[in-house]
Structure 1
Amino acid sequence: MISPALEKALNLRSRGALRLLAQWQTPAGLRRAGEARILAYLRQHGVWAAKTLTAKVHAAARTQTVSVAGEATAALIVGQMATDLEAVNDRITAIEETIAAVVAEHELGEILTSLPGIGTTLAAEFLAHAGTLTTYSSPAALAAHAGLAPISRDSGRRQGHQVRPHRYHRGLRRVFSMSSFTALTHCPRSRAYYDKKRAEGKTHRQAAAALSRQRLNVLWACIRDKTLYQPKQPRSAEVALCELA
């Protein structure tokens, strides 16, 4: 640990912190550079909120004036790791941009991303797993493949017991589960439908699965009709999440 104060001041997930550490890794190095030079360097590399970051790290650097054992070696390692992480992040960004471009050009791309909770990454996953839905005869068939069509496990003493099938496409289920989780925060209709199921006595898992199934029905209807999801003016009962019970 070179500097506890510096580690506390930096968010190592941010581009600015990595760019800073690629150049300066120790409190002494930051003090020698000075605020003006650090600020100019960060601005030159397009770091957001460079002035705030500069003030934070320089204040942290001033709190430690003693060098720790092995500081020089640790600084070399930290600098190289920061550079490597920057390269990885740049590569991830480039891949995400490529995925976004492919989805945008696909015939179903705009329809998929119109449904709240489905971004370009989940849209790409859906297309990879389900294609254009030509292999599914109905939304029920798609739901069964995605593990969203519970099967009955009734017995002589227990009725109405339904469980998730053992065999299903986990990639497809992930698409609907992840998009439903996001929609709970950003889509009022999805939240209302989920809350309705909870009020009916469903557990969180059951309500979330019910929401995923209803969103699957909505997406199927949009793809079938070749229309975007329109929450304010639904074209049919199938497109209105909250009206699907």
Structure 2
Amino acid sequence: MQTVRDLLECVWPAALEAAKQPFKSATWVAAMAVVMGHGRGQDGGDLDRTRRLGLARFERAVRAEVTRRGRVRPCLRILRRLFAALTDAAGVLAHRTAVFERVEWTLSDWDQARAKLADVESRMTAVLNELGLTRLVTSIDGLSPVGAAAILAQTGDLHRFTSARAVVKHAGLAPRERKSGTFTGRARVTGAGRPGLRVAAWRAVWGCLQTNRVYAARYRHLTGREHNRLTPTQAQTAVAGAILRQLYAVVVHQQAWDPVIATHGTRRLDVAAA
């Protein structure tokens, strides 16, 4: 995405202005594929030729490309803005032909990468289903099957760990104080575990903070308390560790995630019951 952005900023910046977040817009990507001639067996990048098609034919071509990419219909506002940008002469015009060829190649590589990613994610979730873990791991609000599968692919069988804290230490997310003689520094994560597991847990944080009320409340508490207030990054790291600990409990004990236990823990519930 950054490669395409850099190239278009040099020769055709108006294309990037057609959508607020162009690379997240299926319509914009499909329209660019049509303009560049990607997948049509033609020399793409001729803006005059595309403009001579007319808006109606251009819209039909983009609709077909959007459907091919698995979407229902394009956003006409973005489509029409990109068509209007065909006449914009801003940019280094002499380099457009060569740059558009590179953009077409990059879009092709991007499509192949996304297809491979979809295939891998499908296989990951299939393994999760075979192990009978999908229902358990997705009981944690905000944790998707792909996110859980990515974590478990890095940990292996969670039963091999002696405790939930051992999983957090394996990821390098366990806090440790820096001590030397009489000096005691601030506690920091060790960072000595598996980088791939840290990344998988870190990515799971974003979805959980959006939909999981327990984790969202924990994050707000850590970043808003008066004493020992954490930075957003530190609080997200703490949430990542909580996800690993509770995923361990869910899988090892074969019990669905309980927001009450996740908030208060089992010991406080036992005391209250007594």
TM-score interval for Structure 1 and Structure 2 normalised by the shorter chain:
0.7 to 0.9
More off after superposition, 68-77 vs 152-161: 152-161
Cα distance in 1 between the residues matched to 2:193 and 2:120: 28
Cα distance in 2 between the residues matched to 1:209 and 1:86: 32
- Structure 1 ranges of 4+ moved more than 6 A: none
Cα distance in 2 between the residues matched to 1:132 and 1:9: 48
Question: Which of the numbers 3, 17, 27 marks the counterpart of 1:8?
Answer: 17
Which residue type is aligned with residue 106 of structure 1?
Answer: L
Cα distance in 2 between the residues matched to 1:212 and 1:81: 34
TM-score, normalised with respect to structure 2: 0.71
Question: Which of the numbers 264, 267, 271 marks the counterpart of 1:243?
Answer: 264
CA shift at 1:64, angstroms?
Answer: 4.3
Given that residues 35 and 54 in structure 1 are in contact (C-alpha distance below 8 angstroms), is that contact kept between their aligned partners in structure 2?
no
Cα distance in 2 between the residues matched to 1:88 and 1:70: 27
CA shift at 1:34, angstroms?
Answer: 0.5
Question: What are the Cα deviations for residues 158-187 of structure 1, in whole angstroms up to 9, with x where unaligned?
Answer: 568544336323333333333234322322
2:58 match: 38
CA shift at 1:191, angstroms?
Answer: 1.9
Cα distance in 1 between the residues matched to 2:108 and 2:29: 7
1:138 match: 163
Question: Which of the numbers 224, 228, 246 marks the counterpart of 1:201?
Answer: 228
TM-score, normalised with respect to structure 1: 0.77
CA shift at 1:133, angstroms?
Answer: 1.3
Cα distance in 2 between the residues matched to 1:210 and 1:26: 52
Going from structure 1 to structure 2, the CA distance change for 1:21 and 1:163 (only over 3 Å counts) comes to closer
CA shift at 1:115, angstroms?
Answer: 1.7
2:204 counterpart of 1:179:
yes
2:253 counterpart of 1:228:
no
More off after superposition, 137-146 vs 202-211: 202-211
Segments of structure 1 that go 5 or more residues without pairing to the other structure are: none
Going from structure 1 to structure 2, the CA distance change for 1:89 and 1:29 (only over 3 Å counts) comes to farther
SS at match of 2:210: helix
CA shift at 1:136, angstroms?
Answer: 0.9
Given that residues 18 and 85 in structure 2 are in contact (C-alpha distance below 8 angstroms), is that contact kept between their aligned partners in structure 1?
yes
Question: Which of the numbers 247, 250, 266 marks the counterpart of 1:219?
Answer: 247
1:86 match: 111
CA shift at 1:36, angstroms?
Answer: 0.8
Given that residues 167 and 245 in structure 2 are in contact (C-alpha distance below 8 angstroms), is that contact kept between their aligned partners in structure 1?
no
Which residue type is aligned with residue 125 of structure 2?
Answer: A
Cα distance in 2 between the residues matched to 1:102 and 1:72: 46
Going from structure 1 to structure 2, the CA distance change for 1:81 and 1:206 (only over 3 Å counts) comes to closer
Identity %: 24
1:164 match: 189
2:83 counterpart of 1:58:
yes
What is the number of residues matched between the two proteins? 238
Given that residues 108 and 132 in structure 1 are in contact (C-alpha distance below 8 angstroms), is that contact kept between their aligned partners in structure 2?
no
Going from structure 1 to structure 2, the CA distance change for 1:97 and 1:52 (only over 3 Å counts) comes to farther
Segments of structure 2 that go 5 or more residues without pairing to the other structure are: 1-9, 36-44, 269-274
Going from structure 1 to structure 2, the CA distance change for 1:107 and 1:59 (only over 3 Å counts) comes to same
Cα distance in 2 between the residues matched to 1:208 and 1:54: 38
Which residue type is aligned with residue 203 of structure 1?
Answer: L
